[in-house]
Amino acid sequence: MDRLDNTVRPYAWGSTTAIPTLLGTEPTGEPQAEMWMGAHPGAPSRTGRGTLAEVVDADPEKELGAASVAKFGPRLPFLLKLLAAGAPLSLQVHPDLAQARAGHEDEERRGVPLDAPHRNYKDANHKPELVCALTEFDGLCGFRAPVETADLLDGLGVASLKPYVDLLRAHPEDAALREVLTAILTADPEEMSRTVAETAAACDRLGGAYAPYAGIAHHYPGDPGVLAAMLLNHVRLQPGEALFLGAGIPHAYLDGLGVEIMANSDNVLRCGLTPKHVDVPELLRIVRFEPGDPGILRPEASPDGEEVYDTPIDEFRLSRYVLPDGSGVHDLTLPTPQILLCTAGTVRTGEHALAPGRSVFVPAGEKTEVSGSGTLFRATVLA
């Protein structure tokens, strides 16, 4: 197995302290948003044999196993991350597999450069994702029931929100949500900026259920995404709880440290809270206008101590082991590739003693035993 040396991405929304605290290093004062573990070409992990991308490319069947290669191709199907949000991320959705393939093919045919600001589909893959909280973790996930959002907006006493309130009380619900989001994203920018400012001031004054949106507006003053965010369920995860984000589900992470895993894709359509391109027609085609509960996941324990976060896709499977002192040796051998990440204590596997934030790549079929006292996350695939 290979110890991984991983890249930390300095996105502006990142916490300056959360990842350094976990790693036991001194903060630099710069944001440290995401630590990537995997073979993504944007920042592949480094090993003693070269980058993990190079290792996999040299012998996919040996590293990934024949079943994974047959099902997903000669590449690691997932990307594992530590994600540390110190400010809200952009409000976004991801396409399903058919939409991603069609969108990528269309942009390739039209010759849209991969690095063009208005490019939507960087690849032909979908991007389902799962985030598991290591600290209290705030986010937005899926549409709240429209009548509940109508009551929330009405309670602000902002006159310019009245048309949205009326639309949200109409039926059917999916049409009401579509009309309101369309109206928000296509409104006159100056008028919208004034509405957002009035809304932010009211949220700040009232606090309570409005407090998260006051915080968002503080980071993105005048952004229509502030109103779009108010259409969504606000979720606060406790450590160990998780969210699964499937295709078409609008979401944003607001604050906290977590372990995130996703299919290996860069496809994002933004709804707001960003200076980047927002393709409104394409966004409206991809969003699923379905209100509902965000569905907080809690792990399901198996007899061997593995706690699995159950998701409906095969490109990744995330689980954790909470190992008490003296729990002995646990056999984690699998016929699929694995990345093992320690987030607490010290966990030994093979010749490696993993402290918090340290990780290893385990090729398919390699004998894998772990021991020690701490918390270990395991990322693999269902092949």
Q: How confident is the model over 96-110, as pLDDT tens digits? A: 999 999 999 999 999
CA distance 39 to 45: 6
Containing 99, the helix (H) or strand (E) segment is helix 97-109
Tallying the residues shown for the chain, one arrives at 383
Q: Is 270 marked active-site?
A: yes
**Best CA proximity match to 209, nearest among 149, 274, 290:** 149
Residue 55's φ and ψ, nearest 5 degrees, are -60, -45
Range with the lowest mean pLDDT among 179-188, 296-305, 333-342? Answer: 296-305
% of the chain exceeding 70 in pLDDT: 100
Q: Is residue 252 scored above 90 in pLDDT?
A: yes
CA distance 224 to 182: 11
Q: Residue 98's pLDDT is what?
A: 95
* Residues 6+ away with beta carbon under 8 Å from 365: 65, 333, 334, 335
Sign of CA dihedral 17, 23, 27, 32: negative
Q: Which two tokens stand for residue 261?
A: 């895993």
How far, in Å, are 103, 122, 176 from residue 162 at the CA level?
A: 36, 39, 14
- Under a CB-based contact definition with an 8 Å cutoff, are residues 360 and 2 in contact? yes
Residue from 46, 75, 270, 317 carrying the catalytic annotation:
270
Q: Which two tokens stand for residue 192?
A: 């919208």
- Under a CB-based contact definition with an 8 Å cutoff, are residues 320 and 299 in contact? yes
Residue 112's φ and ψ, nearest 5 degrees, are -75, 120
* Residues 6+ away with beta carbon under 8 Å from 17: 27
Complete DSSP assignment for 189-228: HHHHHHHHHHHHHHHHHH-GGGHHHHHHHHHSTT-THHHH
Burial (CB < 10 A; 0-12, 13-18, 19+), residue 377, is buried
Q: Is residue 12 scored above 90 in pLDDT?
A: yes
Average pLDDT score, the chain: 95
Q: Residue 383's pLDDT is what?
A: 86
pTM of this prediction?
A: 0.94
CA distance 259 to 246: 17
Q: Is residue 333 scored above 90 in pLDDT?
A: yes
Q: Which two tokens stand for residue 119?
A: 């490019």
Q: Residue 327's pLDDT is what?
A: 82
Give the CA angle between residues 103, 124, 336 to the nearest 5°: 155
Q: Is residue 255 scored above 90 in pLDDT?
A: yes
- Under a CB-based contact definition with an 8 Å cutoff, are residues 324 and 330 in contact? no
Q: Residue 299's pLDDT is what?
A: 94
Q: Is residue 10 scored above 90 in pLDDT?
A: yes
What letter represents residue 369's amino acid? E
Q: Is residue 41 scored above 90 in pLDDT?
A: no
Q: Residue 90's pLDDT is what?
A: 95
Mean of pLDDT values over 224-239: 97
Q: Residue 264's pLDDT is what?
A: 87
Mean of pLDDT values over 245-261: 97
Q: Residue 348's pLDDT is what?
A: 95
Q: Give the model confidence (pLDDT) of 178-229 as tens digits.
A: 999 999 999 999 999 999 999 999 999 999 999 999 999 999 999 999 999 9
- Under a CB-based contact definition with an 8 Å cutoff, are residues 299 and 307 in contact? yes
Cis peptide before 95 (omega within 30 of 0): no
Q: Residue 18's pLDDT is what?
A: 98
- Under a CB-based contact definition with an 8 Å cutoff, are residues 380 and 346 in contact? no
Q: Is residue 266 scored above 90 in pLDDT?
A: no
CA distance 320 to 316: 13
Q: Which two tokens stand for residue 76?
A: 């690691």
Mean of pLDDT values over 163-172: 95
What letter represents residue 381's amino acid? V
- Under a CB-based contact definition with an 8 Å cutoff, are residues 52 and 362 in contact? no
